[in-house]
Every structure is written in C-alpha cells, then in structure tokens.
A = this chain, B = another copy of it.
Amino acid sequence: MNGMAGSQKVAAVVQAAMASGRTALTAAEVSLVCGAYGIPTPQEGLADSAPRAVELAGQFGYPVAVKIASADITHKSEAGGVVLGLSTAEEVAAAYDRVTAEAEALFPGAHIDGALVQQMVPPGREVIVGATTDPTFGRLVAFGMGGIYVEVLRDITFGLAPLGLEAARSMLDRVAGAPLLAGVRGQAPVDREALARLLVAVAQLVTDHPEISEVDLNPVVASEEGVVAVDVRLLLAPPPAERPANASREEILDQMTRLLRPSAIAVIGASAEAGKIGNSVMRNLIEGGYQGPIYPVNPKSKEILGRPCYAQVADLPDGVDVAIFAIPAAAVAGAMDAIGRRGIPTAVLIPSGFAETGRTDLQAELQAVARRWNIRFLGPNIYGYYYTPDRICATFCTPYDVAGPVALSSQSGGIGMAILGFARSAGLGVSAIVGLGNKADVDEDDLLTFFEQDDATRCIAMHMEDLKDGRAFLEVAKRVSPRKPVIVLKAGRTVAGARAARSHTGALAGDDKVYDDLFASHGVVRAPGLLDMLNYARALPLMPTPAGEEVLIITGAGGSGVLLSDACVDNGLTLMKVPADLDASFRQFIPPFGAAGNPVDITGGEPPSTYRATIALALRDPRVHAVVVGYWHTIVTPPMVFAELLVEVVAEARLAGNAKPVVVSLAGDVEVEAACELLFQHGIPAYAYTTETPVAVLGAKYHWARNNGLIPAAS
C-alpha cells in the first residue's frame, strides 16, 4: 500500500519534526503520512483564508467540518477549534474566521497555519485504532470499539507490530463488541477487510518509523462502504534503544545443552557439613544418580562425600560444562571470573542477595564478568535445576526422579517447590524443572530453545512474573508451540498482583490484556492459576490433537452431564449436534428412558458393556473429535471395572487410527481415586469429584490447537 518512496517521505517529515523539537505532527504532516500508508481520511485541504475554505468545501461537497490547523494545539476540540456540520458557504466562511480568531486569543504563542476544511464522514460504527509502546513487547497495535461505554469496560485488544492481515482479522474478533461489526438490529455489517488493512497499515507505520511513539485514530468510522479515520494524532519520541542482537539459535542451543546436560559438574562451595547448601547440592547430585564426574571445590576440604575436593577453580580438570555456585553473594563475581579463566562455559547461581534484595550493583557486576567470558548462567537467587533424563538434581531442595515429558520452569523458589510437590504427589513425569529467579542472564526463550530440540520434552510449562525480552520469547514460543505446547502462568495479572511482583523480583508488568492477546496470537496457552498450570502440564501431552471442534459427552450420571455441559461452554468448547444416524446408533445401546443427543445419557444402572459400546462408537465415528466421559460409581459397574474397560476401548481406538482426546470425570466413593490413577497411567486424563477439571484441560488442549492453527476449519 505504500512504496519505498512513501516511507522515505514520511521519514523526512518525521526527522524534520523531531529536529525542530516537536512531539506531534501537524495536520498537513499527518495527512501526508496517512496518504503514504493508505490510511483513509476524509477529503480535506488546508485553507489560509475564509474564501479558500469556501472553495475547498465546494470541491469536497457539503457538509464539511472546519478545524484549526496548528502543530501547537493538540486537543483541538477542547480548545474550541472544531466546527462540524457546515452546510453553506456562509457557514464555512464564518467558521474559518471564528476558529482562527479563538485560537489566536487562547494560544497567543501558537503558530497557526490556517484551518483544515474536511469532508464530513457518512454514518457508521465508531471504532478506535491506535499504536502504543509497551515496556515488554515494544510497538503494539490496539483496536477497540468506540463510545463511552467501552472506556468503562476497557474492551480493547492488542497485536504485535508489524502485523499480518490474518492476525489483524483475528484481532477484530477478540473484542467483546465484535458482534456490532457484523451488524445488529438489522444494521449492515462493516467492511472488515478494510478495517483489517487499516490495522496492518498502522502497524507498518510504527515499525518503519520507530520515532512515531503513539498513533491515535479516534474515531475511525467503519461502515459497509469502508473505513475513514476521522481524527488522527501522531506523537513523536526518541526511539527506544535497540536491544543487542541475541546470540544465534545454534549458539544458544550449544550453551544451554552444556548447562542442562553437562559432561562434568563442579560445585563451587561444596561442603561436607550437613545442612549447608553446598552439602545438599553435592548429596543430591550423587544420590540423584548423575553419572558424569562431580568435582567439589572448597579450599578447606580434601574430600567431600567420597569425591576428591579441589582447593580452587583453577585446579579443576578439563571438561567441566557447568559450575554450581553455593557461596555467598559477595564471592560470586570473583568465582565467575575464575570459572571464565578456567574455560567453564556455564553456571548455576543459587545464592541470593542480588537485585531481589536491592543489591543491583552486585548483579550488574556479575553480569559484566559473565559477558566478558561469554558465560551463560541461571539465576541468581534460585533453587537450581533438575534434568531427569541424565538424572541431574543440581539443587539444594529434595531430589526428584519421575522422568516424563514435561519441562517446567519458575521464576520463584516457592513456586518451584510447589511444582516439585505436585509432580511427586500426582506422579507427573518431568524432563526438567528449572529455577530462573532474577533472570540476570538465561531466561524463558533460552530454555525454550533447548526444550524445542530436547527429545525428552513434549510440553513446557513456565511460571513467570515478567519477561525480560517479550519479543524474543514470542518468537521462540511461536516456533515451538505447534509441536510442544507452551503453557504459561503469568503472575501479576491484576494491579495488586503486579505491585506485589514489583516488590518481589522487580518485575515491571504492563497491561495484562497485552499478555493475554499476544500469548494467544503466538500459540501460547495461558493458565489462569498455579494449579491450572500444573493440571494442564500433566494432561496436555497425553491428549492427541483434536481433528475438529465437535465434542461429545457420554455420561452415566445425568447430573454430571448437566455440569459437564456447563463446563464445556465455560471452556469455549463446541457441543456437537449429533447427526440423526449417529443418534440412532447410540439409541441401540442405551435404555429407552436414557437420552441420546449430547450429552448421551446412558443412565446410572448400566453395565460395563453399555459404557464400552457407546464410547467405542464415539471413538469410531469420524464426526466426533473429542469425548468427555462422565462416570457414575455403581455396583453394576465399579470404578476399576470402568477404568479398565475405558483403557481397553481407548487403546483399541488408537490402534485403529482413531486417536482422539478423551477426558473423564468420576463421581463416586473413594475407589474412584484409584481408577483415576490407572486411567492417567494409561494416558487418559481423569479426575474425581469434579466436572470442571477434565473439561478445563480439554479446553486448554483446544486453546493450544486453535492458537497454533492446528484444527482444520469445519467443512
């Protein structure tokens, strides 16, 4: 829509305005910019006299508006500088004289160019389009419905600039007022494509010209005919400093592999004294079963836990990939320098006492030393990390050894311990648990780059309070998530939470809605709470990707069927309208007073064969894409009998090529807990005493699949 020439013209205008110290563009400059980027505005022209204004109005056709033209007056309406709905030459001339006279009177120092004569816009739906700068993600495009009510409800959505047309289209659907765009009460729908193109254009504008710090198109009138930006404000500010380029993916991968899968480990500050962190780390490494060499470093010991001890880092043998630090904060920078000299490429900084306690100086110092030696490090202020495929427990916490497909990270030690406890209690198979703490170096995108190619990892769950580099994270997440779901618990969602995060890790959170929107558009599944994240992480890798949106509930308990239906709606799932032939097939198996349709209610008194027949039918029929099973504990079909039959039916379906997500809600006496365990062991997410959790994890699977474009559109 804009050629190179257009962009260069804009650059010249912006440079000139910046050079003259201005923070906003004039109407004429705005007009040029909009022209260059294909942002439709009303026909308009600058008049330097009342007769010229009348002449322009005659060209555009009545009615017109007359607006004061001055770079020094930004809020024109409030300054009385706007007159709308002028229908005759006399009115236009009078309006010109009035706005220029009032501006001169109100703003004695202002330079006044004259007045803008503007075509009035036809009626339509008022929307708001803008661009802004976020501390975490940089340039964002915003879209919202216009009107005062929306300000109260904050119905707005964000996209990352630059923006593709498809992403722009999906932004239009993300506001609560979206139905208004499609037309309600018999109104015509607005031109969505024109609106999407407008978002793309604004995104391109702020991407090409980082000096344009804020764009405000308010209102944009959208109608069947197209869109018109009625009022356009463009603000200027010195562009933010360019971030230093990240290392290449290969380099990051090499360093992360040495950090998380080291050939040999040194423990700086290893100790023989029980209760010391340096002792716990040694003990966990050894008892955890790590097979590579472990070298304790401590000038005061000859041997620690049966391993010969080194007096100083310089004495260490070759081949050490990572140094675990268990020394006081004040000694960390010195030891960092020592490992650099010795050629050790990575470190794990357990010690506290850095930025989180106000000692930003100590943190900056160790960052400088690490950069000098190109050392990558975790922390400081962390519990360490676990990597189960190599049986590494590089931590002072309790060891963990249930290997499995889920990699987890946390910014907080307390949350790390909750992850560990839940994982052990639920038997959650884990590939890694990594503490990130102050994130003075390694952060989430580095970890994602490693887990992306780690064969032991099939799902990644991350607790975070902030992102050091939002764009880098989104870029990697978008690449990784289609194959390995990325689940994020972003703490500090609320204003109070964000304040607490600031005092905890100094995290600076922007508008939480930005995280919501950008995570979704980059394939990330957001977990609303801690237990949700853990439940999603446990269940998502077990479920195959659904081939479509049609979800069927089969239940032995009508009451569960009702609650499961509610939960499906709550979690954005589509309850299949069962086709007549399939409905008839179900009716063959269920009692006459049972209900086909959806839920399929097989009723409570049925034997195992009824569960088996109906579930098998649902798995076999290609029109059903996911199955929610509600079990009711009865004497006729006890919990373990049910669990075993379901395991068989699902296994048979998988063998026959009919792999579909199946989740289970079990209502019954405590025996259902063992049934849940059995089902989970066989890859079927199952939960006792709740109708919400099974549907919530299925909903998360669907969010993931949709966010990553993995569900074919309905035929």
A601 touches B424 (CB 8 A): no
* Contact A418 B149, CB 8 Å, known A492-B562, A503-B595, A557-B413: no
B503 touches A597 (CB 8 A): yes
Judge if A368 is at the interface, Cβ distance under 8 Å.
no
Which residues from B are CB-within-8-Å of A568? 496
Which of A27-35, A98-106, A174-182 has 4 or more CB atoms under 8 Å from chain B? A174-182
* Contact A560 B412, CB 8 Å, known A180-B152, A566-B491: yes
Judge if A107 is at the interface, Cβ distance under 8 Å.
no
B563 touches A504 (CB 8 A): no
Which residues from B are CB-within-8-Å of A357? 592-593
Which residues from B are CB-within-8-Å of A563? 415, 489, 491, 497, 529-530
Tell me the complex Cα distance, A597–B398, Å: 32
Judge if A338 is at the interface, Cβ distance under 8 Å.
no
Cβ-neighbour of A530 out of B153, B353, B691 (below 8 A): B691
A 558-584 binary contact with B (CB < 8 Å = 1; else 0)? 111111111111100001000000000
Tell me the complex Cα distance, A163–B555, Å: 42
Which of A116-124, A204-212, A307-315, A663-671 has 4 or more CB atoms under 8 Å from chain B? A663-671
A690 touches B559 (CB 8 A): no
A356 touches B593 (CB 8 A): yes
Tell me the complex Cα distance, A709–B192, Å: 49
Which of A45-53, A68-76, A628-636 has 4 or more CB atoms under 8 Å from chain B? A628-636
A 338-365 binary contact with B (CB < 8 Å = 1; else 0)? 0000000000000011001110000000
Tell me the complex Cα distance, A26–B59, Å: 52
* Contact A425 B690, CB 8 Å, known A275-B635, A465-B559, A667-B418: no
Judge if A271 is at the interface, Cβ distance under 8 Å.
no
Judge if A162 is at the interface, Cβ distance under 8 Å.
no
Which residues from B are CB-within-8-Å of A672? 421
Tell me the complex Cα distance, A565–B148, Å: 30
Q: Which residue of B lies closest to A411 (CB)?
A: B559
A560 touches B415 (CB 8 A): yes
* Contact A566 B184, CB 8 Å, known A557-B414, A633-B421, A672-B421: no
- Size of chain A's interface in residues, with CB distance under 8 A? 100
Which residues from B are CB-within-8-Å of A566? 491-494, 496-497, 529
* Contact A417 B668, CB 8 Å, known A150-B149, A529-B690: yes
A497 touches B670 (CB 8 A): no
Judge if A185 is at the interface, Cβ distance under 8 Å.
yes
* Contact A529 B604, CB 8 Å, known A412-B558, A668-B418: no
Chain B nearest Cβ from A443, distance in angstroms: 16
Which residues from B are CB-within-8-Å of A635? 275, 280
Q: Which residue of B lies closest to A182 (CB)?
A: B152
Q: Which residue of B lies closest to A437 (CB)?
A: B559
A 125-153 binary contact with B (CB < 8 Å = 1; else 0)? 00000000000000000000101111111
Q: Which residue of B lies closest to A570 (CB)?
A: B494
Judge if A331 is at the interface, Cβ distance under 8 Å.
no
Which residues from B are CB-within-8-Å of A555? 414
Judge if A397 is at the interface, Cβ distance under 8 Å.
yes
A 300-342 binary contact with B (CB < 8 Å = 1; else 0)? 0000000000000000000000000000000000000000000
Which residues from B are CB-within-8-Å of A669? 397-398, 417, 420-421, 424
Tell me the complex Cα distance, A422–B667, Å: 9
Judge if A379 is at the interface, Cβ distance under 8 Å.
no
Judge if A645 is at the interface, Cβ distance under 8 Å.
no
Which residues from B are CB-within-8-Å of A275? 635
B417 touches A180 (CB 8 A): no
B559 touches A604 (CB 8 A): no
Q: Which of A413, A414, A558, A560 has the most CB of B within 10 A?
A: A414
Judge if A169 is at the interface, Cβ distance under 8 Å.
no
* Contact A567 B529, CB 8 Å, known A145-B149, A558-B505, A604-B413: yes
Judge if A501 is at the interface, Cβ distance under 8 Å.
yes
Chain B nearest Cβ from A142, distance in angstroms: 18
A494 touches B569 (CB 8 A): yes
A 603-614 binary contact with B (CB < 8 Å = 1; else 0)? 011000000000
Chain B nearest Cβ from A600, distance in angstroms: 10
Which residues from B are CB-within-8-Å of A153? 153, 176-177
Q: Which chain A residues (435-451) contact chain B, with CB distance < 8 Å? A: none
Cβ-neighbour of A633 out of B417, B495, B528 (below 8 A): B417
Chain B nearest Cβ from A461, distance in angstroms: 13
Judge if A410 is at the interface, Cβ distance under 8 Å.
yes
Judge if A463 is at the interface, Cβ distance under 8 Å.
yes
Which residues from B are CB-within-8-Å of A110? none
B417 touches A184 (CB 8 A): no
Judge if A534 is at the interface, Cβ distance under 8 Å.
yes
A530 touches B496 (CB 8 A): no
Q: Which of A503, A568, A593, A692 has the most CB of B within 10 A?
A: A503
Which residues from B are CB-within-8-Å of A673? 421, 425
Judge if A481 is at the interface, Cβ distance under 8 Å.
no
Cβ-neighbour of A425 out of B415, B556, B604, B689 (below 8 A): B689
Q: Which of A149, A177, A491 has the most CB of B within 10 A?
A: A149
Which residues from B are CB-within-8-Å of A532? 692
A422 touches B562 (CB 8 A): no
Chain B nearest Cβ from A78, distance in angstroms: 11
Which residues from B are CB-within-8-Å of A353? 593
Judge if A500 is at the interface, Cβ distance under 8 Å.
yes
Chain B nearest Cβ from A216, distance in angstroms: 16
Which residues from B are CB-within-8-Å of A592? 357
Q: Which of A184, A530, A575, A605 has the most CB of B within 10 A?
A: A530
Q: Which residue of B lies closest to A185 (CB)?
A: B148
Judge if A688 is at the interface, Cβ distance under 8 Å.
yes
Tell me the complex Cα distance, A703–B562, Å: 25
Q: Which residue of B lies closest to A494 (CB)?
A: B569
Q: Which chain A residues (210-226) contact chain B, with CB distance < 8 Å? A: none
Cβ-neighbour of A491 out of B358, B421, B562, B575 (below 8 A): B562
20 intermolecular pairs with C-beta atoms under 8 Å apart: A148-B184, A151-B184, A151-B185, A152-B180, A153-B153, A153-B177, A411-B559, A412-B560, A413-B632, A414-B556, A418-B667, A421-B688, A494-B565, A497-B565, A500-B553, A500-B562, A501-B562, A503-B601, A530-B563, A530-B692
Counting from the closest, the 4 A-B pairs by CB-CB distance are: A412-B559, A414-B557, A357-B593, A504-B558
